[in-house]
Amino acid sequence: MPEPYRVTFVCTGNICRSPIAEWVLRHHVEQEGLDVEVDSSGTGGWHVGDGADDRAVRALSAGGYHSAHSARQFEPLWFARYDLIVALDQGHLRALRSMAPDEQARSKVRLLREFDPDAGDDLDVPDPYYGADDGFDHVLGLVEAAVPGLLETIREELKERR
């Protein structure tokens, strides 16, 4: 039996953007019955072990998603574990690519909004942490807009494995 396809989302502290993206994608892959493992992490370690920000949890709940989360920091050794590493903004993209041991690992790193055909030139998902609650709703909307394209990419890669 082939290994599951593995996706991780990466933001700064792993308490806002990446947990939102993780749980939205988890919801969709579970609904479709896809053999995909989804998780998330942060480029920094100051929130390791913390739950998701309460505002992120509320936005997910209002959107019909559930969540359970414990923040962790992305480790360079994990490049071998994942098929796709999804950065939430350009800073995360640069940080992850600089950690990558080789070109093959660097090629696994993509920006989430690359999967949204309507994203235009602004491919960053803004950090809602220092703003109001509606920033988390905005992040959820950006994630939901990118997930159909991300799912299409995952489906294609799963077909290629067969």
- Catalytic choice (11, 39, 53, 124): 11
Q: Is 16 among the catalytic positions?
A: no
Q: Is 162 among the catalytic positions?
A: no
- Catalytic choice (16, 17, 55, 72): 17
Q: Is 26 among the catalytic positions?
A: no
Helix, strand counts (H, E) of the chain: 5, 4
What is the C-alpha to C-alpha distance for residues 131 and 106, in angstroms, rounded to an integer? 32
- Catalytic choice (6, 97, 110, 127): 127
In this structure, what is the dihedral angle of CA atoms 31, 33, 35, 37, given to the nearest 10 degrees?
A: 20
Q: Give φ, ψ of 86 to 5 degrees.
A: -105, 115
Active site residues: 11, 17, 127
